Amino acid sequence: MFERFTSSAREVVKTALREAGELRHQYVGTEHLLLGVLGQSSGAAATVLAEAHLSPDFVRAEVVRRVGCGTDQLGAQEADALSVLGIDLDAVRAKVEGSFGEGVLDQPHGGRPGGRLPFTPRAKKALELSLREAKQLGHHQLGSEHVLLGLIREADGIAGQILATKSSLGELRERLLAELDKAA
């Protein structure tokens, strides 16, 4: 599917991955895709989101309010609880690093191959809907505006909930389609 993405749509996905990592989330959700779309400074999606007063700072704050930030490591309370069970985290770290290499536990995203985070089912669905939107509009390439249309259609995700705080999803969709018509 990604071969049909324009450079702006690819940038949306890259930005979504970066945003998820910065928020220390162990997944890429619709909220991260929305932040990726907001990372675009031009185009129909950027225009519609700006007109709806949806800024990256507002959306990021809403994401943190709704789902919080992840953590990179166990805290002192967790380490104390494990020590009661006879588990020494420093000893575990030394054993793992001895077997797999120094710093292996410090790799981004838990050492997953390629450092890639998994997409949630809703994020995958939003991307599938993006492709359908592009096809329905007769577009051969999928751009950031199609990603936004997919996020609007996947209304139950965090992105849909955040979008709906500023405008009805139907209204956002209509504005985006009108903006695409103007650009054509």
- State what percent of residues in the chain have pLDDT above 90: 67
* 171 shares a domain with 141: yes
User: Which band of pLDDT confidence, cut at 50, 70 and 90, is reported for residue 70?
Assistant: confident
* 85 shares a domain with 171: no
Predicted pLDDT at 79: 67
* 122 shares a domain with 57: yes
Q: Which domain holds residue 8?
A: 2-69+115-183
Last residue of a domain, one of 59, 93, 108: 108
**Domain count of the chain?**
2
Q: What is the pLDDT of residues 106-115, one digit of tens each?
A: 544 444 444 5
CATH number at residue 175: 1.10.1780.10
* 131 shares a domain with 89: no
**pTM, 2 dp:** 0.78
State the average pLDDT over residues 12-21: 95
* 148 shares a domain with 57: yes
Has residue 12 got a pLDDT over 80? yes
Q: What is the mean pLDDT of the chain?
A: 86
Of the candidate ranges 36-45, 95-104, 152-161, 175-184, the one whose mean pLDDT is the lowest = 95-104
* 96 shares a domain with 119: no
* 22 shares a domain with 85: no
* 149 shares a domain with 100: no
* 18 shares a domain with 50: yes
* 129 shares a domain with 85: no
The CA distance from 75 to 72, in Å, is: 9
Residue, of 69 and 1, whose pLDDT is higher:
69
Q: What is the pLDDT of residues 163-183, one digit of tens each?
A: 999 999 999 999 999 999 988
* 146 shares a domain with 85: no
Buried b (16+ CB within 10 A) or exposed e, 93-113: eeeeeeeeeeeeeeeebeeee
